[in-house]
Amino acid sequence: MERLGRYEILEVLGRGAMGTVYRARDPILDRVVAIKTITILSVTPKEEHEYRVRFFQEAQAAGKLSHPNLVTIHDVAEEESTQAPYIVMEYIEGRTLESLLSDPAGKPIQERLDLVKQVAEALDHAHTHGIVHRDIKPANIIVTPQGRAKVTDFGIAKLAVTQLTMPGESLGTPSYMSPEQVAGDPVDGRSDLFSLGIILYCVLAGEKPFTGENPTTVMFNITYKEPVPASQLNPSLDPRFDYVLERALAKDPARRYQRGQEFADDLEDLCHGRAPRSQVGTLTGADVQSTVMQKALPPLPPQAEREACLPTRWPRKAAVAAAFASQLSRHARVVLGRVPWQVTLALVATSLVLFAFRSIGPAKTANLEIHCVHSFRAANLFVWVDKDLVYEGKLAGTVKKRMGFIKTVQGSFLDTLALAPGRRVIRVQVASKDEGYNQTKEVEGEWVQDGKKTLEIGFSGQSKNLYMALQ
């Protein structure tokens, strides 16, 4: 019989990019366990050593957790021949929440809400002990035949999230990531609660709040877009659930539920037909203002990058307008002589307005919104509409550290161009002299009067192949 350490392997439960899960038997304690081996990919020997130290530290910390809704960790070790780390956990009979949500004949919505509440309570327990999961998703929640939710993969999720975004690796699905995870920023327990909020939205609305044709679009929507209220997708839903979702899915962690128990308490109230207890009370003027501000989109990419990405057409027109103003001012002094300076200024301003309208031409009544997520330290972006170069800007990424030692570069870009209605060919070129990179793509689309389309620009694989999607 195949063994892993002292454990007898009974069967393979699943395989993935991160490793393999086995059902096994502990012959000493005579009990069935689940074993998950971890595959460490694309890291240097130094990084691998640092990861192993962190892996054992986190697994040992997670092993101290004891909660009815957490899968218990029994042991952690390394396979002798390959030195692959593995973690031994409580074996749970049941099905994942992922399979339950995709099953039309699954549990009633009240029972599903109770499962989300159980997970919120489990997360509260872990967070109070200083442990963050970082990969909360339906596939990591097991539902027993008795209706108990069990959160698995504590202690090993940190590596999984890191490797999702390592250069040269498959991105996987970022559907349940928080905005701070997308940005590569430090996370705490509130990141887990955002992910749980996405699961709650799926339970209530029957679909994910942030979707897209590719990972780039999904990540952009997580960071900048507000989801459709769940009550609009499910008219039978109590509108007070929208309040809970709004808090759970707030872009700013400070606006979210600060503890899992607070999240669970509100769900319990709604399940019993009561108003969420965190909503009960009188709002002050400042509270009302902050609530309104919470609904606003988060800040777009840094202002310095935004200024670097201004379209070429505006600086050129500004330069011409400035020259025109200078000539007009001199002419006004000659012609008007002692006419008060206020009159001269008014004439100059009026002429500039007329010049601006003439130079800009007829009003354009359609829009192209450009979204770009990239991993360039520095690159140039060019956009043509038909044969006209209408945009020239810079892409600048920021170096982020994951797990404290794996460095990645991340950058994002957003802007909107006006264009005339009709069928248009959009051509995009991205070039980076430092990286020897230069790729061009074209896409064609039809714009109607006052219409808007979104151009998603992304890069796949280690070679950063340029891809575009017009929506």
Which tens digit of pLDDT belongs to each residue from 381-410? 999 998 888 888 889 888 775 544 456 787
Q: How far is CA 164 from CA 18, 73, 266, 308, 374, in A?
A: 10, 24, 32, 30, 15
The number of domains in the chain is 3
Residues 108 and 38 both lie in one domain = yes
One-character DSSP codes across 2-63: -EETTEEEEEEEEEETTEEEEEEEETTTTEEEEEEE----S--HHHHHHHHHHHHHHHHHHH
Claim to verify: residue 227 and residue 353 sit in the same structural domain: no
Q: Residue 174 and residue 401: Cα distance in Å, rounded?
A: 18
Residue-wise burial string across 360-373, b where 16 or more C-beta atoms lie within 10 A, e elsewhere: eeeeeebebebbbb
Helix (H, G, I), strand (E, B) or coil at 214: coil
| Domain boundary residue, one of 360, 382, 416 | 360
In 44-188, alpha helices (H): 45-63, 97-101, 109-128, 157-164, 179-183
Structural domain contains residue 443: yes
Q: Are 424 and 467 in contact, with CB atoms under 8 Å apart? A: no
Catalytic residues: 135
Quick one: 243 and 354 in the same domain? no
- Based on the domain organization, do 211 and 355 belong to the same domain? no
Q: 397 with 326, same domain?
A: no
**217, 344: one domain:** no
- Quote the pLDDT of residue 426: 93
| Residue numbers in the chain where pLDDT is lower than 50 | 157, 159-172, 282-339, 343, 347, 354, 357-361, 403-405
**Neighbour count for residue 458 (Cβ, 10 Å):** 23
- Domain with residue 464: its CATH number is 2.60.40
- Regarding whether 227 and 159 lie in a shared domain, the answer is yes
Is 154 a domain residue?
yes
* Phi, psi torsion values for 293, nearest 5 degrees: -65, -30
Strand, coil or helix: 404? coil
Structural domain of 457: 366-470
124 and 206 inside one domain: yes
Structural domain includes residue 286: no
Same domain, 272 and 124: yes
Query: Residues 373, 322: one domain?
Result: no
**For the sheet containing 422-432, what is the strand order?**
388-396, 378-385, 422-432, 437-447
Are both 41 and 140 inside the same structural domain? yes
Tens digit of each residue's pLDDT (9 = 90 or more) over 312-345: 444 434 443 444 444 444 444 444 444 455 545 5
Residue at 206: amino acid letter:
G
CA dihedral 433, 439, 442, 447 (to 10 degrees): -40
Q: Is residue 311 part of a domain?
A: no
**pLDDT score, position 363:** 57
Quick check: is 28 in a domain? yes
Task: Please state, in angstroms and rounded to a whole number, the distance separating the CA atoms of residues 242 and 224.
Answer: 18
**How far is the CA of 238 from the CAs of 5, 244, 271, 274, 469, in angstroms?**
52, 11, 10, 10, 36
Could you tell me the pTM of the whole model? 0.64
Whether 288 is in a domain gets the answer: no
> Do the strands 452-460 and 366-374 form a parallel or antiparallel pair, or are they unpaired?
parallel
Residue 58 lies inside a defined structural domain of this protein: yes
Considering just the CA atoms, what is the radius of gyration of the chain in Å?
28
Are residue 234 and residue 383 in the same domain, yes or no? no
Check residue 165 and give its pLDDT: 39
Q: What is the pLDDT of residue 462?
A: 67
Residue 132 is predicted with a pLDDT of 92
Q: Is 238 exposed, middle or buried (0-12, 13-18, 19+ CB in 10 A)?
A: middle
- Through-space distance between the first and last CA atoms of the chain, rounded to whole angstroms: 54
- What's the pLDDT score for residue 269? 95
